[in-house]
Amino acid sequence: MKKLLTILAAASFLVSTSTTTVVSCTVKSKSINSLNFNWDLGVLEEVSQKEIIRAIARVNDIDLNDKRGIELLASMKFDYNSTVSFFEEGTTSNPGDKLTFISKIEATPNSKVLKGSVNITFKATDEAVIKSQNPIQNQEKNLVGTWWNWGNTIKDEHNNDKGLGWRGVFLEQFAYNEKNPYDIINISSLYTKAGEYQIDSLNINDLTYNPHPKPENPGWPYDGDNDDTNSHFLIDRKKRRETNGSSKEGFGKDPKIITSLGGATADRMMWKWNQKNQLKNKLKEVLDTFGLDGLEIALSGRTLYNRESQETLSQAVKEIMVENWLQGKDFYLSISTRIPWLLKSATAMNKPSVVPFIESMDGWFNDISIITYNLSRPVNQIIAPETFTVDGVTYEKGEKIRSNLSPDIEKAAFFYGTIRALLDDKWNPNSKYYDLSNKPIRIATTTPFASSTGGFGFEKNSDESNLEIALREIYKDTKVSNPDVARNIVGLSYFGITLDQIISNEKPTEPTKFNHGSSLSKFIEEANKLNKPKK
C-alpha cells in the first residue's frame, strides 16, 4: 500500500493553486489558498467529507457563531482521489498505525465564495484512507418511500380508496410499524405558494408549527384547517429524540424522515444570491421545527434554468449541513432528477438541467435519485446503444427505449435499457447524458396508479417485479465488464407509501403489509451482498 502511494506521490501529486470557473461576474470569490487557515488537521479516525470539514473547523476554531467560517467550509470539497502517504524512505509501520497523509481541498464547482485548491495534511490509518477512496462502495443500500399529505386521490384497481378519504394515510399509522419496509420516509413537498423570490411562505404543504391541541379522544382525524395530526406526530417525534436520544420508544422501526423540496407544482421557486442567508434560515426553521433528518432537492420548472438560483440553494443547503455536522448530527441529502435534466448540452444551451446541483454538491449528497417513470415523450427516451433482449422483449440498436402507457406495468426491458444506458459508460460510451458512472445512484419508481408511463409492478402469477428482473440482468451483465454499475446503485425509491398502504391492505388505516415496498426491500437486502468495498 505505502509503496503504491509513494509512486502516486512522485508521479501524480501536484501542489496546486489552480482556479475553477466562477459562475457570476458580480460576486468576487476568494482564493482558498489565500485563507489564513491551519491545514494540518491532526488525527482522523475516519476520512470523509464530513470528518474533513469537522477537522478544519476544529483546528481553526470555527463554531456555530462563525457565519463566515461556515460559509467558507460549505464551499470546500475533499478530493479523496488526491490522497497520498508522506513518509521518509526506509521507515516501517504496522497495521493500524497512524500515518501522515497529504491530500487536497478544492473549492466546490460553481462556487461564488471560493476558488482554487490547497493541500491538507492529517494522520490516519491506511485502512481509513482506502475506505475513503471507495465512498460509494461503503454506503449501505436502502429504500426510500415518498409520502404525502396533500390529498389522496389514489384508489386501488377497483377504484376504491378503502375509506381513507382525502387525507387518510397518517405517518403514525406506518412510520414505527414493524412491517414498514422503508428505511427513509420522504415527505412531499416543501415549497412556497407565493411565487418567485419569495421565502417566508416556505412550508411542507399544510403542516403547521402550532397544531391545535389534541382532543382527549382524538380518533382519526382531529385536524383543524391545517394538518394537525401529522404536525403533532413530527413535533412529538422530535421531542422524544431530544429527551431520549431516539424516537423509537419501543417501536419496531425508527426510519429517517426527510422532506422533498420542490415537485411538479412548485415550478416557480427561485432565489437571488443575496437571499442566501434568508433562504438558509427558513429551510433550517422548517427542518428543525419538524425534526427532519435531511432534504431531497426535487426542483423543476424555472429553477432548473436559473444558475444563480441553483447555486444559492446549493450553498444554503451545504451551510445547513455544516452546522449539523458541527453539532455531531448527520444530514441526508438527495438530488432527484428526471432523465432529460441530465443532458450534457442542457447547461450550455440554457435548458433545464440538474447538473449544476450535482456539480456544486458533489461530495456532499448521499445519492442522485433518477426518476424512471412519466417518460411519455419520445424526445426524452433513451436510444439503445446495442441490441438487447430482457424477459422476452427485444430492443434493436438505435431504437428508442419506449415505455408502456399506463395502466399497464412496464416491461423489464425498458428498465434495463434505460438504467444501464445511463450508468454503464462502457456499454454506452457515446451517451448524450451527464456521466453518472462514479456517482451514488437511487432508482425511483412508481405504479401505473401514479404515472402515465413506466409503471412498477408484477406480472400475473409472478412474485418478481419488472424492476427486479431488470436489475438482476444488469448485475449479471456488468459483473465482469463494469462491476461498478451494480455497486453504484445505492438504493431504490418508491412513489409512494400512500399507494402501497392502499393497494396492500384491506383496511389501510391499520396496515399490516406493504407489498411493493417489501419486494423492493428484499431485493436491496440481496444487492447489499454486492456492495462490498474493493480490496
DSSP 516: H
Q: What is the pLDDT of residue 8?
A: 36
Using the CB atoms, write b or e for 251-270: b if 16+ within 10 Å.
eebebbbbbbbbbeebbbbb
The amino acid at residue 14 is L
CB within 8 A of 526, min separation 6: which ones? none
Domains of the chain, residue spans: 2-132, 142-530
pLDDT digits (tens, 9 = 90+) for 61-97: 999 999 999 999 999 999 999 999 987 666 777 888 9
Nearest alpha carbon to residue 493 among 520, 531, 464, 454: 520
Can you give the pTM of this predicted structure? 0.92
State how far the alpha carbon of 69 is from the alpha carbons of 37, 65, 75, 241, in Å: 10, 9, 10, 29
Residue 9, classed as helix, strand or coil, is helix
- The C-alpha atoms of residue 286 and residue 294 are separated, in whole angstroms, by 11
Q: Return the C-alpha cell found at 74.
A: 460549505
The low-confidence residues of the chain, meaning pLDDT below 70, are 1-27, 88-90, 151-154, 163, 165-167, 220, 245-252, 530-535
Q: What is the pLDDT of residue 365?
A: 98
Q: Return the C-alpha cell found at 166.
A: 382525502
Q: Return the C-alpha cell found at 357.
A: 446541483
* 8 A C-beta contact, residue 257 and residue 247: no
Tell me the chain's radius of gyration from C-alpha atoms. Answer: 24
State how far the alpha carbon of 187 is from the alpha carbons of 147, 255, 293, 426, 461, in Å: 5, 12, 11, 36, 33
Q: What is the pLDDT of residue 1?
A: 45
CATH architecture of the domain covering 142-530: Alpha-Beta Barrel (3.20)
Q: What is the pLDDT of residue 529?
A: 73
Residue 410, classed as helix, strand or coil, is coil
Question: Mind giving me the DSSP string for 117-130?
Answer: EEEEEEEE-HHHHH
Q: What is the pLDDT of residue 5?
A: 42
Q: What is the pLDDT of residue 14?
A: 36
In this structure, which long-range contacts are made by residues 203-206, counting pairs with CB atoms below 8 Å and at least 24 apart in sequence? 203/286, 204/259, 204/286, 204/290, 205/148, 205/149, 205/150, 206/149, 206/150
